[in-house]
Amino acid sequence: MSSSAHSSLKLDDVAYSIDGEIILSDINFSLNAGEVSCLVGPSGCGKTTLLRLIAGLLSPDHGSIHLNDQNITRINGNLRLEQHPVMMVFQDLGLFPHMNVADNVAYGLIANNGERKQKVKQILAQLDLAGYSARYPHELSGGQQQRIALARALVLNPKVLLLDEPFANLDTALRLPLAEEILRLLRERGIITLLVTHDREDALSLGDYVGVMGEGHILQWDTPQNLLEHPVSAHVASFTGHNSILSGTLTENNQVNTILGKQKVENHLHNTVENQPVEVLLRCSDVRVTTNSDRHPAKVIYRSYEAEQLIYALKLENNEQIFALAGDQLKLSVGDTTSVELINQQATVYD
């Protein structure tokens, strides 16, 4: 691992607005060298804006961004740094079509001609692109173009690398293997890496840590396992898997009642008052589609196969929607009416 192995990037109380409209607020987290962190959230929640603030392309309203003991926050439009230690790779890659691979990679590299050629040769070899230096972007596959954009950033030896939806335009079969390969290289080089994606599966698969964003806030910053097993809010729960959120009411003996029946509340609530309205998390494995007509009626909205499991999205009598598992022997089409039942008597509940 490189000498940057102990580097860290820290954001303290970062906020940003445009014409009085709050885009980001209360942004606080730290990133460490040799780790890959992912930001995930719906379009418009502020992910790319946050990357631009870290990259020094925008100035925050207040707050600070430090790389180790160095303040790299852009202040009043001025970077104060001759060479910014943060590089950003955009979704459109930004390769110059009139330049060959070698010239694209060398763009921005300050060195004599011999040193430039040597550094370009080394980084292309590391990314399995040896022999491609004379080709032009249009002669490369999507995955190869992605590597060229990454090589152009890495040849400048950044301490921090920001990736904005870098694999979004690649085929599904290629996306994750290429991402894993590239991120392994970044970990080995000890680079602080932050990747933005709207795909929760990519984030949970690729990140050592994942930040779930919503409406300009970091809702939860955690390991993928904790995000899946212990989401801190209904919003996080609904975004990190095939989870449903039903309206419920607290009853006696620490139970909660929904349209599907009663469950035991398994987590701790700050305040518990009988008949208090709450939100109830149901994972798709908590509910089962059944042919038993005595259970709760539901209409199929759509279905999907994931990890060789058939998952149905269904609408209940009160128009609430849920996800549920079903065996392959149960074949339903969109619009069919069926029944569902609870198979987990424990529930995670949110105020």
Query: Is residue 1 over pLDDT 60?
Result: no
pTM of this structure? 0.82
Q: Say yes or no: 220 and 253 in one domain.
A: no
Domain end position, chosen among 207, 234, 261: 234
Q: Are residues 175 and 321 in the same domain?
A: no
Q: How does the average pLDDT of the chain come out, rounded?
A: 85
- State both tokens at 87: 């590089």
* Same-domain check for residues 76 and 193: yes
More confident residue, 223 or 266: 223
Does residue 222 share a domain with residue 171?
A: yes
Residue 202 binned pLDDT confidence (cut-offs 50, 70, 90): confident
Domain that holds residue 337: 242-350
Confidence of residue 129 (pLDDT cuts 50, 70, 90): confident
Q: List pLDDT tens digits, range 62-72.
A: 999 999 988 88
Residues 30 and 163 in one domain: yes
CB distance 244 to 323 below 8 Å:
yes
Same domain, 276 and 218: no
Q: How confident is the model at residue 246 (pLDDT cuts 50, 70, 90)?
A: very high
Give pLDDT tens digits for 134-161.
888 888 887 788 888 888 888 888 889 9
More confident residue, 209 or 325: 209
Residues 210 and 309 in one domain: no
Kindly state whether residues 261 and 296 are assigned to the same domain. Answer: yes
The stretch 77-83 carries a mean pLDDT of 54
197 and 269 belong to one structural domain: no
Q: How many domains does the chain have?
A: 2
What pLDDT is attached to residue 288?
87
Length of the chain: 351
| Tokens read off for 11 | 């954001």
Express each pLDDT in 184-195 by its tens digit.
888 988 999 999
pLDDT digits (tens, 9 = 90+) for 271-313: 677 788 999 999 888 888 888 777 899 999 988 877 667 888 9
Tell me what pLDDT residue 328 has: 59
311 and 207 in one domain? Answer: no
pLDDT of residue 2: 42
Asked whether the beta carbons of 186 and 112 are under 8 A apart, the reply is: no
What pLDDT band is residue 3 in, cutting at 50, 70 and 90? very low
Burial 9-45 (b: 16+ CB within 10 A, else e): bebeebbbeeeeeebbbebebebbbbbbbbbbbeeeb
pLDDT reported for residue 327: 65
Which tokens in the block code for residue 55? Answer: 């990259």
Residue 32 in this model has a pLDDT that exceeds 70: yes
| Among 274, 286, 284, CA closest to 249 | 274
Mean pLDDT comparison of 168-182, 188-202, 258-272, highest-scoring range? 188-202
The answer to whether residue 329 scores a pLDDT higher than 70 is no
Q: For the chain, give the percent of residues with pLDDT over 90.
A: 30
pLDDT given for residue 79 in this prediction: 53
pLDDT of amino acid 198: 84
- Regarding whether 317 and 198 lie in a shared domain, the answer is no
In this structure, the answer to whether residues 188 and 45 fall within a common structural domain is yes
- Bridge partner list, 220: 212
Share of the chain above pLDDT 70, in %: 92
pLDDT score recorded for residue 208:
94
